[in-house]
Chains A and B, each alone.
Chain A
Amino acid sequence: MTRLITISVIAFSIALTGCARKTASAGGPKPTAWGAAIVESSGGKQAGAVGSLLEQPVVVQVNDEQGTAIPGAPVEFSGPSGVSFDPPSGLTDSSGQFTTNVMLGGMAGRYQITATTLTKAQKRVDLKLEEIALGYQEQLGFQLNDKYCARCHNPESSPERVSNYDNLEVKPHAFTEGDTLNKMSDADLTAIISHGGPALSKSPWMPPYGYTLSKSDIQALIAYIRMVSDPPYQASGTVYAQK
Chain B
Amino acid sequence: MEPSQNKSSSLWQTLFGHPIRAFGVVSLLFLISLAIAPAKNHFSEWRHYQKQYLVLIRGRGDAITLQRHLQPGIQQIWLPELGVVDRCTSCHVGLKEASLADVTTQPFRRHPVIPHTIDQFGCVMCHRGQGAATTVEEAHSSTLAWEEPLLPARYVESSCGQCHRVPLTGTPQLNLGRQLLARNGCVHCHTVKLPDGTTMKATDDPPSLVHIADKTTREWIYAWLKDPAAYAVSATMPNFKLSDDDARDISAFLIANSTPLPGDTAPVAATQKAPDPTAGASLYGESFCASCHAVQNAAGNLVGGDVGPELTRVGSKVKPEWLQVWLRNERIYDPPTEMPHYRFNEQQVALLRTFLLNKTDSDLLANVRLDAATPEQIAHGKTLVTEYGCASCHEVGGIKKPENFAPELTRIGSKPVAQLIFLPGMQHTLPDYIAAKIRNPRSFGSALKMPQYTFAPSQVDALTTALLSLTERARTLPAALAVPAPSASTYQPAGRAGQLMADLGCFSCHAINGRGGDMAPDLTWEGSSVQRPWLAEFLKNPNTLRPALIRRMPRFNLSDGEINELTNYIMTVYQSPAIDRDSMPLSGYPAAQVEQGRQLFYSKYACQSCHIVDTKTDKGYIGPTLTQVGSRLTPAWIYSWLKNPQALRPGTIEPNRNMSDEDARALTAYLATLKSSGKPGTKVARLEARP
Task: Please give the residue numbers on chain A whose beta carbons come within 8 Å of chain B beta carbons, in ascending order.
Answer: 49-53, 55, 101, 103, 105-109, 135-137, 139-140, 143-144, 147-148, 151-152, 159-164, 166-168, 203-205, 207-212, 216, 219-220, 223, 235, 238-243
Contact = CB atoms under 8 A, between A and B. Distances in A.
Contacts of B169: 140, 143-144
Contacts of B106: 107
Contacts of A55: 458
B621 A49 contact: no
B619 A167 contact: yes
B648 to A, nearest CB: 13
Interface stretch (B56-64, B241-249, B512-520): B56-64
A212 B656 contact: yes
Interface stretch (B35-43, B150-158, B269-277): B150-158
B173 A49 contact: yes
Given A53-B154, A143-B169, 20 more contacts: A50-B156, A51-B154, A51-B156, A52-B154, A107-B106, A107-B109, A108-B112, A109-B104, A137-B114, A137-B170, A159-B550, A164-B548, A164-B621, A166-B619, A166-B691, A167-B619, A205-B609, A209-B655, A220-B113, A220-B170
A167 B109 contact: no
A203 B153 contact: no
Given A147-B653, A204-B606, A140 B458 contact: no
The 3 closest A-B pairs by CB, nearest first: A51-B153, A106-B153, A51-B154
A143 B172 contact: yes
B653 A148 contact: yes
Contacts of B619: 166-168
A50 B154 contact: yes
11 contacts: A49-B154, A51-B153, A51-B156, A52-B154, A52-B173, A160-B550, A166-B690, A204-B603, A211-B656, A212-B646, A212-B655
Contacts of B62: 238
A143 to B, nearest CB: 5
Interface residues of B, number: 48
A136 B548 contact: no
Interface string B608-620: 0110000000011
Nearest to A50: B153
Nearest to A207: B655
B58 A243 contact: yes
A159 B155 CA distance: 32
Contacts of B604: 204
A240 B113 CA distance: 23
B605 interface: yes
B622 interface: yes
Interface string B199-223: 0000000000000000000000000
Contacts of B102: 235
Interface in B131-176: 152-157, 169-170, 172-173
B413 to A, nearest CB: 17
Contacts of B101: 235
A243 B59 contact: yes
B658 interface: yes
B620 A164 contact: yes
Contacts, number: 122
A74 B569 CA distance: 70
Contacts of A223: 113
A108 to B, nearest CB: 5
B33 to A, nearest CB: 24
B461 interface: yes
B156 to A, nearest CB: 7
Contacts of A212: 646, 655-656
Contacts of B458: 52-53, 55
Interface string B582-606: 0000000000000000000001111
A46 B671 CA distance: 43
Contacts of A143: 169-170, 172
A136 B113 contact: yes
B609 A107 contact: no
Nearest to B102: A235
A106 B154 CA distance: 7
A226 to B, nearest CB: 10
B657 interface: yes
B154 A103 contact: yes
Given A50-B153, A51-B154, A164 B609 contact: yes
B61 A208 contact: no
A187 B102 CA distance: 20
B113 A168 contact: no
Given A137-B113, A152-B609, A242-B59, A106 B655 contact: no
Nearest to B547: A162
A216 B115 contact: yes
B425 interface: no
A235 to B, nearest CB: 7
A101 B457 contact: yes
Nearest to A165: B621
A164 B622 contact: yes
Contacts of A240: 59-61
B59 A135 contact: no
B620 A167 contact: yes
Nearest to B160: A136
Given A139-B172, A151-B622, A162-B548, A51 B114 contact: no
A147 B169 CA distance: 10
A148 B104 CA distance: 31
Nearest to A198: B604
Most buried by A among B113, B155, B156, B690: B113
Given A50-B154, A164-B620, A205 B606 contact: yes
A223 B604 CA distance: 29
Contacts of B656: 211-212
A103 B457 CA distance: 11
Nearest to B618: A167
Contact of A208 (B157, B609, B658, B690): B658
A216 B620 CA distance: 29
Contacts of A239: 61
A144 B172 CA distance: 12
B113 A238 contact: no
A52 B461 contact: yes
Contacts of B109: 107
A205 B603 CA distance: 9
Contact of B112 (A135, A151, A219, A243): A135
Given A135-B112, A147-B653, A212-B656, A167 B461 contact: no
B174 to A, nearest CB: 11
B655 A137 contact: no
Contacts of A53: 154, 457-458, 461
Interface string B89-121: 000000000010110101001001111000000
A211 B657 contact: yes
A202 B526 CA distance: 37
A202 B457 CA distance: 44
Interface in B665-691: 690-691
A211 B154 contact: no
Contacts of B548: 161-162, 164
Given A164-B622, A242-B59, A211 B690 contact: no
A95 to B, nearest CB: 17
A140 B113 CA distance: 11
Contacts of B153: 50-51, 105-107
